[in-house]
A and B are shown apart, each in its own frame.
Chain A
């Protein structure tokens, strides 16, 4: 099998800006808690090595690309105290490479968005995002 490259990648953001994405980062994170304690119940935690336990998870990341004409990028759907987020994110690393598309699928929120305009170059756009709820394997 060949090493996965970004050539056949794809990004779909259901309720966000329309940009030509060239790069994405997706960091699936889990909280970790220090569970170090005395060992009166013989659970093997005596000694000076820290004990850990895992908590909840989320996906945070960033999209980077170039602005498309006719669509000034904006944040898109954001959750409020009255309504939950509804923007579906599809981050695909390989689209119909040697097998089924592979990526992540989740509802999410966009955080900050930056637009950089320089006279001699393309207009660059980048934005951050965070998942809301389950992050699943992408299904085409």
Chain B
């Protein structure tokens, strides 16, 4: 077995759209953290034709949900939904906003998605922290 090692986050990156500035004009964010959760439905498929008493399942639909966290650079605006609502509107699905979540060079999740929340926390003695929440739309490509 080839040697493998634990991955350090120093090579990670988070890009919440291929053209981020269309969604958040005049916002410069330095992301330092991202979280992603793959969730898939498990559907019970136990049947009378199986004489054992062990349950069986089949996999259903899945999506990827997560958050990205970063600081905001002075001189930029605060983030929000642009006039065109960026990635995904109620009348049309997202068409060009590819999210890229990288753990280390060469190991990525790539997908079209929708941003569901921009959460800005401002405390007088601290940095301004932005948390972006998102959900995938259709297929998620792993490593490529």
Interface on A for B, CB 8 Å cutoff? Answer: 1-7, 9, 22-33, 35-36, 44-45, 47-57, 91, 93-94, 97-99, 102-104, 135, 137-138
Interface on B for A, CB 8 Å cutoff? Answer: 28, 30, 40, 59-63, 71-81, 85, 87-90, 92-93, 113-128, 135-140
Report yes or no: B74 in contact with A26, Cβ–Cβ below 8 A: no
Q: How far is A137 from B118 in the complex, measured between Cα atoms in Å?
A: 14
Q: Which residues of A contact B137 (CB under 8 A)?
A: 50-52
Q: How far is A48 from B59 in the complex, measured between Cα atoms in Å?
A: 9
Closest to A5 in B: B127
Report yes or no: A6 in contact with B74, Cβ–Cβ below 8 A: no
> How many inter-chain residue pairs (CB < 8 Å) link A and B?
154
Known contacts A2-B74, A97-B75; is A30 also within 8 Å of B114 by CB? yes
Report yes or no: A4 in contact with B74, Cβ–Cβ below 8 A: yes
Q: Which residues of B contact A94 (CB under 8 A)?
A: 74, 128
Closest to A3 in B: B71
Known contacts A54-B90, A104-B80; is A3 also within 8 Å of B30 by CB? yes
Q: How far is A91 from B128 in the complex, measured between Cα atoms in Å?
A: 13
Q: How far is A28 from B87 in the complex, measured between Cα atoms in Å?
A: 15
Report yes or no: A102 in contact with B125, Cβ–Cβ below 8 A: no
Report yes or no: A102 in contact with B123, Cβ–Cβ below 8 A: no
Known contacts A5-B127, A23-B124, A30-B114; is A48 also within 8 Å of B60 by CB? yes
Task: Report which of B73, B93, B114, B120 forms a contact with A26, defined as CB distance below 8 A.
Answer: B120
Q: Which residues of A contact B139 (CB under 8 A)?
A: 47, 49
Q: Which residues of B contact A24 (CB under 8 A)?
A: 121-122
Q: How far is the CB of A20 from chain B (nearest CB, A)?
A: 10
Known contacts A44-B138, A49-B63; is A28 also within 8 Å of B118 by CB? yes
Report yes or no: A29 in contact with B124, Cβ–Cβ below 8 A: no
Task: Report which of B59, B81, B93, B122 forms a contact with A93, defined as CB distance below 8 A.
Answer: B122
Q: Which residues of B contact A36 (CB under 8 A)?
A: 61
Q: How far is the CB of A1 from chain B (nearest CB, A)?
A: 5
